[in-house]
Amino acid sequence: MSESPLHDCRHAFSDKLLELGEEDERIVVVNNDSVGSSNTGPFRKRFPHRLVNVGIAEQNLVGVAAGLAYAGKRPFAYSIAPFLTSRPHDQVRVDVAMANAPVTLVGVGGGLAYGTLGPTHHAIEDLALMRALPNLTVLAPADPADARGATAAALRHDGPVYLRLGKNGEAPVLPAGTRFTIGRAVTVREGGDVALVSTGAILAEVVAAADRLAAAGVRATVLHLGTLKPLDTAAVARAAAWTGAVVTVEEHTVLGGLGSAVAETLAEAGAGARLRRLGLPDAFAPGVGARQHLLAQLGLDAGGIAAAALQLVGAGGWEGVRAA
C-alpha cells in the first residue's frame, strides 16, 4: 500500500500488517476492547475471522495470543505499551518468552506518547521489562518506513518479539531506502566529536540536536538502534572508539533500557569512552502534558540533547544551544 506522509508509526504498522495479512493467512490480530480498534479496523474489516477482541483483559490477551501461536498461527497482540508489558508481565514471561512462542507484542505509544493521560499511560519501563526476558527480541522503529520494516521483520523472526511504536505523527527521519534488519544499527550521519545513540521515535529530536551541534562546530555521529535486543554492540563500540564520547537518548527511564545496554557494551569492550545517559531519571514523569512539553521538561528535546552533548565534550555555549 502507498504510504502517506501523515502516517505515524502505528498507522504504518497497520498498513504493513494488512499487506502481510493478504500474503500470510496465519496472521491473527488480538486486541483489547476499544484499544487499537481504529488502527486495527482495516484488518478486521478485511479479515473479520482473524481478529480477536478479548475485552479489557490484558492477561487474557497475551494468553490467547500465545495459544494461537502454539496452534501454528502468527499472532500480533496489540495494545497500549504499558498495558501490554506491565499488566500481563507474568503471561509474557511464561506463556510467550519461556515457551519461545512466535508472538509479536505490539506496544503502541512508547515513552511519553500518551503524555496527557498521565503516568498510568506512560511507557517508561517497558524496554527494561522486555529486554530482561530471555528469548524476547525488542524492536523500536524511528519513523513510518522503519515501522513497516520492523513489522515485516517481526513476522519473519522465529520467536517472540516486542515491537514498540510511536503515535505522535512521526515524520520520515531516516535516509530514504534504509532497510530494517534485526540486530543492525543505522548510522544516520557521521562526525568525530560525539556519538548520539538513540532508539525509537526520539530519533527526530536527536537529528535536530545534531543540527544544533553542527552550528556550534561540533560534529556528531547519529546512531539509530531500531533493535534494542539483540544490540548491535559492534556499531556502538565503533562509534565510541571514534568519538570518545557517547550520549544515549531514550524515551524511557535511564534504568535498564538503552543507556544500560550501551554502558554494558562499553564496559565489556573496554572502550573507555565518556558516557552520558539521557532519559527519565529514576522517577515518573514530572507532570501531565503533551509529549513535546514533557520532553522539554526532561531535557530530551533537541536543545536539551545538544546541551548535554556539549557539556560532555567540554565545549562552551551549552546554555545558548539549549535555549535556541
Mean per-residue pLDDT, 292-306: 96
- For residues 183 and 159, the answer to whether their CB atoms sit within 8 Å is no
Average pLDDT over the chain reads 92
Model pLDDT, residue 38: 67
Model pLDDT, residue 271: 82
Q: What is the pLDDT of residues 185-215, one digit of tens each?
A: 999 999 999 999 999 999 999 999 999 999 9
Q: What is the pLDDT of residues 153-192, one digit of tens each?
A: 999 999 999 999 998 888 899 999 999 999 999 999 999 9
Domains of the chain: 9-165 (3.40.50.970), 186-323 (3.40.50.920)
Model pLDDT, residue 35: 56
Identity at 80, one-letter amino acid code: I
Model pLDDT, residue 6: 44
- The Cβ-side half-sphere exposure at 288, using a 13 Å CA radius, reads 6
Model pLDDT, residue 2: 37
Note if the bond before 230 is cis, omega within 30 degrees: yes
How far is residue 189's CA from residue 79's CA, in Å, rounded to a whole number?
33
- The Cβ-side half-sphere exposure at 120, using a 13 Å CA radius, reads 2
Residue 40's pLDDT band (cuts 50, 70, 90): confident
Q: What is the pLDDT of residues 3-20, one digit of tens each?
A: 344 478 999 999 999 999
Closest to 51 in 3D by CA, of 14, 11, 85, 3? 14
Model pLDDT, residue 324: 62
How far is residue 168's CA from residue 185's CA, in Å, rounded to a whole number?
23
Residues contacting 149, CB < 8 A, separation 6+: 141, 178, 179, 180
Residue with cell 475471522: 49
